[in-house]
């Protein structure tokens, strides 16, 4: 009964296979929002204000510098999520020796094909769709049609799964998106006062319409991304993912919780110089088996549940 209930829950994601057809449409939509925002902030409002002189020029220069810096980091993070493989199961992957228990993997190559069931006393999981063993924290994505290491979710905005190798880039994308959209919302607010004042309205109706559109879009993104970012900060602090948070529900102790500092380093790396850029240091790249979820310092037991 439990297994059929789980299968029914996950079968819902079969309807998401239509998301594959979106492809570059979502990327073009993101770039379209960025383009409208750039036109309004740089070309329509603060670019011309550079020639006004005095305090207005200094404010415009400060806004433009901060806007472009955040935009570069936003796009860098975004395309890092889009273009980075979230993490695939290595070919012929097998669990390592359990050093603490002194036990070795009892399976051999001839037994792999017989692992069609996942009994409660089995510590090794098997994906029937991919026909391969699954490392801990690995889940099958019905949209991508493959198993993803430490899968968090499939994101339609990045047209990719968010997993072990691009989760940091996804969080940085949320972070810089929140900062950028908040900056745009606050910087456009004074320009919208003209719409509700009794004085002469500067600009053409077209520029006012695009300014209002950019303001509404950036305000909506700032509020929604803020809530999403807060949720993921809590997930990182507990060393869990969106899928795992749903699965463990009210579990009092999460087996992969190594403390907030180590949990943070497992996602962002140990080198502080790389924390706010979508890249890893050479030392953290050497630690990739841990980041991918193939090995863990605490050597936790493998999950016995089929996902």
What pLDDT, in 10s, does the model give residues 133-181?
888 889 999 888 899 999 999 998 999 999 999 999 999 999 999 999 9
The confidence score (pLDDT) of residue 193 equals: 77
User: Looking at residues 106-116, what average pLDDT do you find?
Assistant: 33
Q: Is residue 63, in this structure, part of any structural domain at all? A: yes
DSSP 151: -
**Cα distances (angstroms) measured from residue 234 to each of 5, 7, 22, 208, 280:** 28, 28, 30, 39, 22
Q: Is residue 26, in this structure, part of any structural domain at all? A: yes
Q: What does the buried/exposed string (b/e) look like for 90-117 if buried means 16 or more CB atoms within 10 Å of the residue's CB?
A: eeebebeeeeeeeeeeebeeeeeeebee
Please tell me which residue, 45 or 76, carries the higher pLDDT value: 76
**Cα distances (angstroms) measured from residue 161 to each of 32, 39, 172, 179:** 22, 31, 15, 23
Closest CA to 295 of 151, 162, 169, 150: 150
| Contact present, 121 and 302 (Cβ < 8 Å) | no
What distance in Å separates the CA atoms of residue 163 and residue 140, rounded to the nearest whole number?
A: 11
CB atoms within 10 A of CB 232: 19
What distance in Å separates the CA atoms of residue 177 and residue 111, rounded to the nearest whole number?
A: 48
Q: Is residue 10, in this structure, part of any structural domain at all? A: no
Residues forming the active site: 155
Tokens encoding 22: 């979106």
- For the chain, give the percent of residues with pLDDT over 90: 48
Q: Is residue 56, in this structure, part of any structural domain at all? A: yes
The confidence score (pLDDT) of residue 247 equals: 76
Q: Is residue 81, in this structure, part of any structural domain at all? A: yes
Element (H, E) at 154: strand 153-155
The confidence score (pLDDT) of residue 120 equals: 38
Q: Is residue 181, in this structure, part of any structural domain at all? A: yes
The confidence score (pLDDT) of residue 117 equals: 31
Which residues form the domain of 62?
16-87+165-292
What pLDDT, in 10s, does the model give residues 263-304?
999 999 999 999 999 999 988 888 776 555 565 444 333 333
Q: Is residue 201, in this structure, part of any structural domain at all? A: yes
Closest CA to 176 of 23, 7, 30: 30
The confidence score (pLDDT) of residue 199 equals: 57
State the pTM of this model: 0.81
Q: What does the buried/exposed string (b/e) look like for 240-264 if buried means 16 or more CB atoms within 10 Å of the residue's CB?
A: bbebbbeeeeeeeeeebebeeeebb
Kindly report the average pLDDT of the chain as a whole number: 79
> How many structural domains comprise the chain?
1
The confidence score (pLDDT) of residue 39 equals: 96
What distance in Å separates the CA atoms of residue 13 and residue 185, rounded to the nearest whole number?
A: 35
């Amino acid at each position: 009964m439990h297994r059929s209930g789980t299968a029914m829950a996950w079968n819902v994601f079969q309807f998401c296979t239509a998301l594959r057809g979106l492809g570059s449409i979502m990327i073009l939509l993101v770039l379209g929002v960025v383009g409208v925002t750039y036109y309004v902030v740089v070309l329509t409002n603060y670019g011309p204000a550079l020639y006004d002189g005095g305090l207005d020029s200094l404010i415009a220069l400060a806004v433009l510098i901060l806007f472009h810096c955040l935009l570069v980091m936003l796009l860098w993070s975004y395309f890092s999520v889009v273009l980075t493989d979230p993490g695939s199961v290595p070919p012929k992957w097998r669990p390592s020796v359990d050093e603490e228990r002194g036990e070795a993997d009892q399976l051999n190559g001839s037994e792999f094909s017989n692992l069609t069931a996942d009994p409660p006393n089995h510590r090794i999981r098997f994906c029937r769709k991919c026909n391969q063993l699954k490392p801990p924290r690995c889940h099958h994505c019905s949209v991508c049609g493959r198993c993803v290491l430490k899968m968090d979710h499939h994101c339609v905005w990045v047209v990719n799964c968010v997993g072990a190798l691009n989760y940091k880039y996804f969080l940085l994308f949320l972070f810089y998106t929140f900062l950028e959209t908040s900056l745009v919302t606050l910087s456009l607010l004074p320009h919208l006062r003209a719409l509700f004042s009794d004085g002469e309205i500067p600009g053409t109706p077209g520029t006012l319409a695009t300014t209002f559109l950019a303001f509404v879009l950036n305000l909506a993104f700032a509020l929604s991304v803020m809530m999403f970012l807060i949720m993921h900060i809590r997930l990182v602090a507990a060393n869990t993912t969106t899928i795992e948070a749903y699965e463990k529900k009210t579990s009092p102790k999460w087996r992969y919780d190594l403390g907030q500092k180590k949990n943070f380093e497992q996602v962002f790396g140990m080198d502080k110089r790389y924390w706010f850029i979508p890249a890893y240091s050479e030392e953290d790249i050497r630690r990739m088996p841990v980041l991918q979820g193939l090995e863990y310092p605490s050597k936790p037991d493998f999950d016995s549940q089929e996902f």
